[in-house]
Amino acid sequence: MNFDSFVLAAATADLHDEPDAREHADCVEFRMDLADDPLTALDAYDGELPILATNRAEWDGGEADDDATRLDVLETAVEYDAVEAVDIELKTMRDGGTTGTGQPGVDGERVAAHAREHGANVVVSWHDFEATPGMGELQETLREACEYGDVGKVAVTAQARADVLDLLVATRAATAEGDTVATMAMGEPGRHSRAVAPLYGSRIGYAPVDPAEATAPGQYDLTTLRKLIDTLAGESQA
């Protein structure tokens, strides 16, 4: 999967949604932690869109509560040809993550290395579900995520529109330094960041095919986000 240009991911726990995503999406973010039997679903997948596999930990907003198991499953997922990118939490890359007992988990570097051996890119992600950190922390977090991953992803929660301005400045600065980043602000005050951030260098956007199945606060549905991004991109080139 090429992140040299913007990629719009249709977020879903059901790969049967893929045909409905083809018109507007560039890939499918498969939320394995929300699926009943994700490896069986990958085995049966015959869609056209490449897959960004995510098996989000419970401690980072997902539903996978056993780090050892979820990372083993993620490691197996990258062996499928359709899986062209994988999402691993920054905390997991730092220290292996945290199991439900608070003990060190398995090493995220192993999953990342296995993904690259199979030609998949690594998105290293960091989420703040409560607020937007200060500019210094934002920039340092983006740099660290990019050191571990092919793409550094930071998703914050905007309490006010000024938080989005900080995020956009950090996005632009990281892009100017040559890093490949994906940024967005969750929550209603930050909703417009999902359409605007690509203008400042963000390379991945996320949207559900079905608006009722949003996987993060403030997501637009897929059709709306594609139209907004394409319209703003056209205006910026005019």
Q: What is the CATH number of the domain that holds 82?
A: 3.20.20.70
Q: Is there a catalytic annotation at residue 153?
A: yes
Handedness of CA 65, 67, 69, 71 (dihedral sign): positive
Please give the tally of structural domains in the chain.
1
H/E element holding 42?
helix 38-44
Helix (H) or strand (E) holding 194: helix 193-196
What tokens does 238 get?
């005019």
N- to C-terminal Cα distance for the chain?
28
Please check if 56 is assigned to a binding site. yes
**What is the distance between the alpha carbons of residues 179 and 146, in angstroms, rounded to a whole number?**
6
Beta bridge pairs of residue 10: 28, 207
Query: Does residue 183 belong to any structural domain of this protein?
Result: yes
Residues 6+ apart with CB under 8 A from 94: 108, 148
Q: What is the pLDDT of residues 162-219, one digit of tens each?
A: 999 999 999 999 999 999 999 999 999 999 999 999 999 999 999 998 777 777 777 8
Q: Is 29 annotated as a binding residue?
A: yes
Domain that holds residue 68: 7-237
Q: Is residue 2 part of a domain?
A: no
Q: How confident is the model at residue 96 (pLDDT cuts 50, 70, 90)?
A: low
**Any binding-site annotation on 30?**
yes
| Predicted structure pTM score | 0.92
- In tens, the pLDDT along 18-63 reads 999 999 999 999 999 999 999 999 999 999 999 999 999 999 999 9
The one catalytic residue in 16, 91, 153, 227 is 153
Classify residue 1: in a domain, yes or no. no
Residue 24 annotated to the active site: no
Position 67 in a domain: yes
Q: How far apart are CA 92 and CA 71, in angstroms?
A: 10
User: Which residue of the set 118, 127, 192, 227 is catalytic?
Assistant: 127
E strand or H helix at 184: strand 181-186
Instruction: Report whether 186 contacts 152 (CB < 8 A).
Output: no
Whether 70 has a binding-site annotation, put simply, is no
